Amino acid sequence: MARVDLTVRGGGIFGLSIAWEALQRGARVRLIESHAIGAGASGGVVGALAPHVPENWNPKKQFQLESLLLAAPFWATVAAVSGLPTGYARTGRLQPLADVAAVTLAHKRTETARALWADNATWQVIPATNAAWEPHSPTGHLVHDTLSARIHPGLALAALTAAIRTKAEVLIGDAPDEGTVIWATGTSGLTELTAALGHKIGDGVKGQALTLRHDAPHLPQILTDGLHIIPHADGTTAIGSTNEHAWADPTSTDAHLDLLLRKARAALPALQHAEVVTRWAALRPRAKSRAPLLDAWPDRPGHYIANGGFKIGFGMAPKVAQVMVDLVLNGHDSIPQGFRLTAL
């Protein structure tokens, strides 16, 4: 008889969240990570839990909305069980509006947000006040949404690992599979799937990001000129991230990150003299569909895939964990069609 019901391979945000959800449901679980917790994309610094715009609604956007709404109780439970902070807070987001057309569209989205998000959050056009923590807006208007939240990736992974270890084994290295197996192995997993299935499933896209010594934990995150500026609970502010399809070293930082820093300081003068604390780079797993990849592994009975978090893995994780555990423990399949291998 197997010692565990479920083996989860991969110590990133998808693997850890699935293991935790399964433990909450009473399953016997073991998590196996070959290198280190958060060794890939999940070990980043940005932690933006930000929604898609409230229009052209589809199953992916609905899935993300439900996941963002699950995040507060999910991370509160992790913090309570582990006794460790996660850095989660729903602090909202500001975005500048570049021209009259953008302002008009943003007002329309106020109405669609009311219909799609219901009473869970708001999307509003507000006047700029020239406060220190505001990006410059050519129109004098900003979008403020109250759905966006932030998580501190390092704190969150440490708390989630500690919570899992109160009930189950987290093994760094290797061991035989037992029970049902979920592969949440990031970029290496997409490479393995591509080789096994004979057509491209996905790949890694390099991202670089950094943190600055700037203490603003209660202020909203900012999205401007493609930059995410995220104040964290530990007295740092994260800036991210690049999107690179060609590189010499997937884990080195370089001039791309220097440019990102210059853009951030130009966009938000409050950061002009903030000290750089961390420079980070890694590959982020992107499925060919650009959606999370959740499915059974073809020709491997009892094996499943949870991959492709790319840049929204932390935001999608609570719902990914819920639907994957529903599938493997209860046989209930509620995975959107666009998240399956057949969508690639």
Which three-class secondary structure string do you get for the chain? CCCCCEEEECCCHHHHHHHHHHHHCCCCEEEEECCCCCCCHHHCCCCEECCCCCCCCCHHHHHHHHHHHHHHHHHHHHHHHHCCCCCCECCCEEEECCCHHHHHHHHHHHHHHHHHHHHHCCEEEEECCCCCCCCCCCCCEEEEECCCEECCHHHHHHHHHHHHHCCCEEEECCCCCCCEEEECCHHHHHHHHHHHHCCCCEEEEEEEEEEECCCCCCCCEEEECCEEEEECCCCCEEEECCCECCCCCCCCCCHHHHHHHHHHHHHCHHHCCCCEEEEEEEEEEEECCCCCEEEECCCCCCEEEEECCCCCHHHHHHHHHHHHHHHHHHCCCCCCHHHCHHHC
Cβ-proximal residues to 111 (8 Å cutoff; 6+ apart), any chain: none
Question: What confidence category does residue 1 fall into, taking pLDDT thresholds of 50, 70 and 90?
Answer: very low
Write out the two tokens for 303: 């094996």
Q: Please write the tens of the pLDDT for every residue from 278-320.
A: 999 999 999 999 999 999 999 999 999 999 999 999 999 999 9
pLDDT above 90 for 243:
yes
User: 128-164 burial, b if ≥16 CB within 10 A, otherwise e?
Assistant: beeeebbbebebebbbebbbbbbbbbbbbbbbbbbbb
Q: Please write the tens of the pLDDT for every residue from 132-143.
A: 999 999 999 999
Which domains are present in the chain? 6-92+147-343 (3.50.50.60)
Q: What is the CA radius of gyration of the chain?
A: 20
Question: What confidence category does residue 344 fall into, taking pLDDT thresholds of 50, 70 and 90?
Answer: confident
Write out the two tokens for 105: 């569209």
pLDDT of res. 343: 85
How far apart are alpha carbons 44 and 76 in whole angstroms? 21
Tell me the average pLDDT across 205-213.
98
- As a whole-number percent, the residues of the chain with pLDDT over 90 amount to 97
Question: What confidence category does residue 3 fall into, taking pLDDT thresholds of 50, 70 and 90?
Answer: confident
Q: Are 190 and 287 in contact (CB under 8 A)?
A: yes
Question: Which residue's entry shows tokens 């009892």?
Answer: 302
Give the β-pairing of 303-307 and 29-33: unpaired
**Mean pLDDT computed over every residue of the chain:** 96
Question: What confidence category does residue 2 fall into, taking pLDDT thresholds of 50, 70 and 90?
Answer: low
Write out the two tokens for 250: 């997937």
How far apart are alpha carbons 56 and 161 in whole angstroms? 37
Give the β-pairing of 293-296 and 303-307: antiparallel
* pTM, entire model: 0.97
- Give me the helix-helix angle, 13-24 and 59-82, nearest 10°: 70
- As a whole-number percent, the residues of the chain with pLDDT over 70 amount to 99
Q: Are 28 and 13 in contact (CB under 8 A)?
A: no
